[in-house]
Amino acid sequence: MSKELFENLTLAASLFLLAPLLISIFRFRYFNFSQKGLLFLIVVTVIVEIISWILWYKMINNMPLYHFFTAIQFLLIVHIYRTVLSKIFSKLFFIIISIGFIVFAIINTLFFQNLNTFNSNVTTLMGFLVIFFSLSYFYALLKEVKYSVLEKNPMFWINSGFLIYFSSNLILFYMNNTLFKGTAEASLTLWGLHAIVNIVLTLFYTIALWVNPKKL
């Protein structure tokens, strides 16, 4: 993949985040808890993307930004799941998971992957945890006695997007760190694919904010 194509894909992935934000302007009053949590996650992501692009164009290392973003992103995702998985996991479980993740992130930054490098250890752990939450949510859906229309359920779309995104990222990060380590061209290709996965995730975000939540 050429550098120009890579830059175009990453720019498209960033700009596509505006779609769910535009939908939110008109539909915010109809949002349920999961949709509001997702909107907050998107807003934080957009802010980080803007700062990241500014740093990149000024040729300043933007890796420190993502060290902090990864921790915030995980906490926001936990915030989304803690209600929909309340019948499976206790509030204490999510508190322990959150604290443990932050402690691991700090230790990783201090002793293994400093602020100027990509925190792959932390993003990998987050990927496994979110996949665990995602599969747990599907399990909770299977245990429901009553029938529900999944395509009208915002959390179904959010959860599906998370599962696809973080599963794909685990594969891409593994390939980048092992099979193609030190190969610049292959690395560009893999990060370009990562941008495509970001676009797919944003598509699921957009659908999740568009559908009408089920009235209880």
Q: Provide the pLDDT for residue 216.
A: 46
Tens digits of residue pLDDT in 45-85: 999 999 998 998 899 999 999 999 999 999 999 999 999 99
In the predicted model, what is the mean pLDDT of residues 10-21?
Answer: 90
Per the structure, the complete domain to which residue 165 belongs is given by: 3-210
Give me the number of domains the chain comprises.
1
Is 216 inside any structural domain? no
Q: Note whether residue 27 is domain-resident.
A: yes
At 91-146, the pLDDT tens digits run: 999 999 999 999 999 999 999 999 999 898 999 999 999 999 999 999 998 887 56
Q: For every residue of the chain, which 3-state class applies, written as one string?
A: CCHHHHHHHHHHHHHCCHHHHHHHHHHHHHCCHHHHHHHHHHHHHHHHHHHHHHHHHCCCCCHHHHHHHHHHHHHHHHHHHHHHCCCCCCHHHHHHHHHHHHHHHHHHHHHCCCCCCCCHHHHHHHHHHHHHHHHHHHHHHHHCCCCCCHHHCHHHHHHHHHHHHHHHHHHHHHHHHHHCCCCHHHHHHHHHHHHHHHHHHHHHHHHHHHCCCCCC
Q: What is the pTM of this model?
A: 0.92
